[in-house]
Structure 1
Amino acid sequence: MEPLSILTLVGALASLLSTVNDALTEYRQSVDKRKKAFSTLKDIESADPNFLTIDFCPPGHPKAVTPLLYAIQGPPERCYEAVDVLLSYGAIPNLVVGDEPPLWQAFATGNIEIATRLLDAGADVQYPCVKGAGRSLLVMAVFSESFADRKLELVELALMYGANRDMKALNGNTALHDTVEMRKGIEIIDVLLRAYANIDSCARDDLTPLMMAVQIGDQAVTNLLVENGAALWLRLKDGLMAAEIARREGHIALAANLDTFME
């Protein structure tokens, strides 16, 4: 390698190290500022962590907020510390402002760390939410597309803290029904089954999760449900069993496979 090239490389590395050092310094300064701000907050004994105010952003859509909700909605790299301090000094984890409990907001943003902190502080995993349209927090976690990469973790977290795996929505669906019908992933179905979700729960028209799986022709999910003991002989409101439903929907191979289990 020519000397000039070596000098150029050394210069580039020095520049990179300087940039990294500047970034680390800036980060440390921001952490120190946040710690100082939180320390000041803690020193003010009269500060109310549940103080209600009105947020006018965006214009024309005012909404009530608390410091806890503000913290949850903040940048992920900063909000955990703020949430932790607020909860430590009396913020109510189940305080509903507007139409959404703090825990629902944490789940909606896919923030596992804050959701766990709220649950540890007493947030109710079964607390209802107007925006849920009759669905539980567990089902909302299954439904949401805003945090697909953390969906499985959130489902597991809700179950770990006692979410009712068999709670039904207004249409009679449980989390297992919705996961099958909306094709939310065989991994989530497996987690629900390992949490002892009712595999034969009946929704509208006596639909079971197995019947939903054969309706949409999902062989992998059908196999998983059958392997876990789904009842093949249960009948839809119109009298059809799972194999007959599969045949009606044109899934002939799937129907034939189910027939072998009935012999």
Structure 2
Amino acid sequence: MKSLRTWINPLGAAALALTMLTALTAPTTPAWGQTRPGGPQPSSAQAAPSQAANRADGQSSELFVAVTRDNASAVTRLLERGMDPNVRDAKGQTPMVLALQLGSLRAFDALMASARTNVEFRNAHDESPLMIAAIRGHRDAVVRLERQGAHVNKPLWTPLHYAAAGTSDEQVRITDFLLEKHAFIDAQSPNGTTPLMMAAQYGTEGVVRLLMESDADPLMKNQLGLTAVDFAKRAGRERLAQELARYEEHVRQRRMQGSPTPPAAPLQ
């Protein structure tokens, strides 16, 4: 199994990582594979789009092009002309999420400057801007989004899952920030995956260490009965798997004694 570092791509980093993880760990389809934005899709018997709708689609395309090119002035101009920043393209992508995936941070700034931008507007994969900022290592964007009302906790996959899967130098700080903002440390995805499991297979040792220090539960299992130790082994991270196994035993013993779990020992 290749690591997220090998598979990652700028147009679908988080979705790709989590789709791969789902294929490995559960037979179920993620929530984003079961729903489509906007309700039922139109049938061929329905009326053709109006000219007004075609014009709107054209403006949307211009906005996505501007975001892709990180052209902040073009983004601002389109928004001033009345373009809705909360739109999806044909693939269900949103301007804000695309900007963060591509690292188009000037375009992101322009979108954030609009009072009409909904920081919780998600793409067709149920990914919020905060989730993508977290996995891509855009710490400043993470902080700004949270201050603007982005949800740190949500059903199914969470920003903390995504932060735990990232590989940038900012992942520890981002994860720590989310925990300070009361991110649920043992949040479970549809197949029972926790942030600690994500970090064990895809993330940095620093994030694994932080999650252990913050009392992440190493005894939790996903739908196939796999723990964080198993996730580390699947990724060929034997040293990390051994440390997680020691932490797991440490937690198990403390619980048997009815004592609180103190912070884990440093990685060896």
Above 0.5 in TM-score? yes
In the TM superposition, what is the alpha-carbon distance from 1:197 to its structure 2 partner? Answer: 1.4
Matched, 1:209 2:195: yes
| Residues 95/224 of structure 1: CA separation in 2 closer, same or farther (3 Å cut) | closer
Following the alignment from structure 1 to structure 2, what is the Cα–Cα distance between the partners of residues 187 and 161?
19
Number of aligned positions between the proteins:
194
Matched, 1:128 2:122: yes
In the TM superposition, what is the alpha-carbon distance from 1:123 to its structure 2 partner? Answer: 0.8
Which structure: greater helix fraction? Answer: 1
Map 1:94-113 → 2, pairs under 5 A: 94-96=86-88, 98=90, 99-113=92-106
Following the alignment from structure 2 to structure 1, what is the Cα–Cα distance between the partners of residues 53 and 74?
15
Following the alignment from structure 1 to structure 2, what is the Cα–Cα distance between the partners of residues 256 and 108?
36
Residues 54-95 of structure 1, C-alpha deviations (whole Å, 9 max, x = no match) = 9xxxxxxxx83448617724754xx33343344345333224
* Alignment counterpart, residue 118 of structure 1, candidates 105, 111, 118: 111
- Answer yes or no: is the 8 Å Cα contact 2:187–2:194 preserved in 1: yes
**TM-score scaled by structure 1?**
0.55
Following the alignment from structure 1 to structure 2, what is the Cα–Cα distance between the partners of residues 191 and 152?
9
AA in 1 matched with 2:143: E
Structure 1 portions without partners, runs of 5+: 1-49, 55-62
Following the alignment from structure 2 to structure 1, what is the Cα–Cα distance between the partners of residues 203 and 111?
40
Alignment match, 1:152: 139
Structure 2 portions without partners, runs of 5+: 1-51, 255-268
| Residues 73/134 of structure 1: CA separation in 2 closer, same or farther (3 Å cut) | closer
Following the alignment from structure 1 to structure 2, what is the Cα–Cα distance between the partners of residues 217 and 70?
30
Following the alignment from structure 1 to structure 2, what is the Cα–Cα distance between the partners of residues 158 and 69?
20
Following the alignment from structure 1 to structure 2, what is the Cα–Cα distance between the partners of residues 226 and 134?
28
Higher relative contact order (CA 8 A, sep 6+): 2
Question: What is the RMSD of the two structures over their aligned residues, measured on CA atoms?
Answer: 4.0
- Answer yes or no: is the 8 Å Cα contact 1:136–1:167 preserved in 2: no
| Residues 240/102 of structure 1: CA separation in 2 closer, same or farther (3 Å cut) | closer
Residues 190-219 of structure 1, C-alpha deviations (whole Å, 9 max, x = no match) = 232223211011124433222444466964
**TM-score scaled by structure 2?**
0.54
Q: Percent identity?
A: 26
Alignment match, 1:173: 157
AA in 1 matched with 2:103: G
Q: Secondary structure at the match of 2:58?
A: strand
Map 1:58-69 → 2, pairs under 5 A: 64-66=58-60, 69=63
Alignment match, 1:83: 75
